[in-house]
Each structure stands twice: as C-alpha cells, then as structure tokens.
Chains A and B, each alone.
Chain A
Amino acid sequence: MPFGSVDAFRDWVGRDDPSYREARLVEAWIAQLGDRPWAEPSEPAPEMSNQPEYEVRTAVLPGSGVEVIYRHTYNPGASAGTVDLIWVGRIGTHGDH
C-alpha cells in the first residue's frame, strides 16, 4: 500500500529534533503501515473517521512516547488503500502545531 503524504513525519523531525535512534524507531513503525495500517498498538479514532471512506487511527509508539495520527483511505475497487500521516509529535505537544 502506498503512502500519500509523509510531511507530518518531516514536520516532527524539524520541530522536535529527535535523537537518531528515536527517529529510526518512529520511522520503522510508520513504514510498516504500508503493509498493515492496523499495526499494533494503533487504535481507531472514530471522531475523526469517515467510514466507509477512510479511518483515522492513533498510536502512541512503544519506546518513544511519540504519537502518530494517520488516515487510512480505502480505495473502492482496488486491493490497496492509501496511508497519509496527519500528525507526528510527542504526547502533549498538540499546541505546537
């Protein structure tokens, strides 16, 4: 499944200056969304979703305290959808957007 926008990841790197290891950890977790948009330990965010068009999910990543919010858009008639990163940031930094 292809990624749409990954700007939120870049924004986070620029905003929060994560360590190399942390950036790699977050990147690796995000990368697997291309195959499994339901990846552990993500949870749906129904208030932000618009079924059956798309689902928004959130995850607090193990080992980093970084929160990832992303949209999985289903593509009717196609086997794969698209994943767009909406927000990447440390917990409690929503006000920094």
Chain B
Amino acid sequence: MTGVVGPSNGLLLESEALDQEVYQKAVGGHLEVSVVKGQDKVSLLPGAPGTAQARRTSRRSSVPPVATWCRSIRCGAQGRLITRLGDKMKTSLDLPPGPSLTPEEAQRVEAGISQMLESMGRRPEPVTGWWYSVQFPELGDTTIVEAWLHGDHDGVRQLVELLHARSRASAERVAQDPAFMEFLRDRMARLA
C-alpha cells in the first residue's frame, strides 16, 4: 500500500496555486493560445487536432498528465519544474507546509521525530514536505505529522521503517537486474 496525496492537505503556495491554475486552464482546453512545438505552431483551441482537448479525449484519464501539456507549451507548471531543476538548484524546495501548527506544536513534532530518527540510527532532518503532505493508509489516512500529534508514535516509527524497507527492496531489485545495472552504470559513466 502506498500513501496518497490528500487534496485537503495544506495551503498551496501562491506559486503552486498559479501553476495549477494555468495547468488546469490549459488542459481544460480553455486557453486560446498558439505555441511553438518544434517548427510548427500548435493551437490549443478546444477540439482542434493536436489540441489539449483532442489529446485529452484520446486518453483514458480525464485530465492529461503534465508532460503532455508541457511538451506543447512553453509556459506554466512544467516549464517551471524543469527550469528549477535544470538550473542546478542549490536550495531546498519544499511542498506546502500542510495544516497550520502552532509554533509549540511544530517544535514538538520536529523534536520528537528527530529523536525518533536518531534512535533508529538515522540523521534528523527537517519535518517538511511529504511529512506534512502525504496521507498514509497505514496511519488511518492521516499524515505523519498529524499522527505524531495524535500520539501515534509507534505507528509513525513503523511507517518510517516500512518506507525504508521499500527503498531497500528497490535497491535489491536493481542489484538483481543485470541489464538495468548495466544501463545505470552506462549512464553514470556518461555523467562522469
């Protein structure tokens, strides 16, 4: 079982809200714009061949994924996604902070989880991003921060151990796949 991102979790950062607004308008076929795709102009008018609407109806999902939109438009969410990482970003970018906590609650969660991680032989880290934003079925569809505040410390610890077990299993799968190992080694060699 994997966690899910809860739609009600947290306030969107202003930039993310704008990203999503532009994205939703584009994939909803409401933007009347033309963009350059390769050497060709592509209309995003609803229903036109090669448009957002045409692409949308050709897919099983009602909302086209971000890359479909991004490949044909040079603005908005995906542009920013790629630009940020492509610029060799050196600073952290965190997800929205989730439910508002009092300074005391935030401090309590931070200290408690840091202590838990250290007791597990791990380094403490800031409790941001997915700690706040992802709901886990294992925690009764709450976030780690919420579960911690509710006193379910054992549940949080077991979940963190489970998440590590998944990552370890991933490493083991890679090690048992010679073709994929070769692909990764080749990729690293090209990056060197």
* CB <8 Å contact, B67 and A25: no
Assuming A3-B85, A3-B89, is B63 touching A29 (CB within 8 A)? no
In the assembled complex, which residues on chain B have CB atoms less than 8 Å from the CB atom of A39? 125
A63 interfacial contact with B, CB 8 Å: yes
Assuming A9-B85, A19-B66, is B170 touching A60 (CB within 8 A)? yes
B184 interfacial contact with A, CB 8 Å: yes
Whole-angstrom distance between the Cβ of B183 and the nearest chain A Cβ:
5
* CB <8 Å contact, B170 and A91: yes
Looking at A10, A18, A19, A62, the one whose CB has the most chain B CB atoms below 10 A away is A62
* CB <8 Å contact, B85 and A13: no
Q: CB within 8 A of A27: which of B23, B85, B136? A: B85
Nearest B residue to A50 via CB reads: B188
In the assembled complex, which residues on chain B have CB atoms less than 8 Å from the CB atom of A84? 188, 191
Which residues of A (39-71) have their CB < 8 Å from a CB of B? 39-48, 56, 58-65, 67, 69, 71
Is the contact region of chain B dominated by helix, strand, or loop, or is it mixed? helix
Please count how many residues in chain A sit with their CB below 8 Å of the partner chain's CB atoms.
60
Whole-angstrom distance between the Cβ of B140 and the nearest chain A Cβ:
15
In the assembled complex, which residues on chain A have CB atoms less than 8 Å from the CB atom of B169? 60
In the assembled complex, which residues on chain A have CB atoms less than 8 Å from the CB atom of B16? 24
In the assembled complex, which residues on chain A have CB atoms less than 8 Å from the CB atom of B35? none
B45-53, B101-109, B127-135, B145-153 - the one binding chain A: B127-135
In the assembled complex, which residues on chain A have CB atoms less than 8 Å from the CB atom of B135? 63
Interchain CA distance A45-B175 in the complex, whole Å: 8
Q: Chain B 90-125 against A: per-residue CB contact (8 Å), 1 yes, 0 no? A: 111111000000000000000000000100001101
B residues bordering A, Cβ < 8 Å?
Answer: 2-5, 16, 19-20, 23, 63-68, 70-71, 77-78, 81-82, 84-86, 88-95, 117, 122-123, 125, 129-130, 133-136, 160, 163-164, 166-171, 173-175, 177, 180-181, 183-185, 187-188, 191
6 other A-B residue contacts (CB within 8 Å) besides A32-B94, A45-B171, A59-B170: A31-B84, A32-B129, A41-B167, A43-B168, A62-B163, A69-B174
A residues bordering B, Cβ < 8 Å?
Answer: 1-6, 8-10, 13-14, 16-25, 27-32, 34-36, 38-48, 56, 58-65, 67, 69, 71, 84, 86-87, 91, 94-95, 97
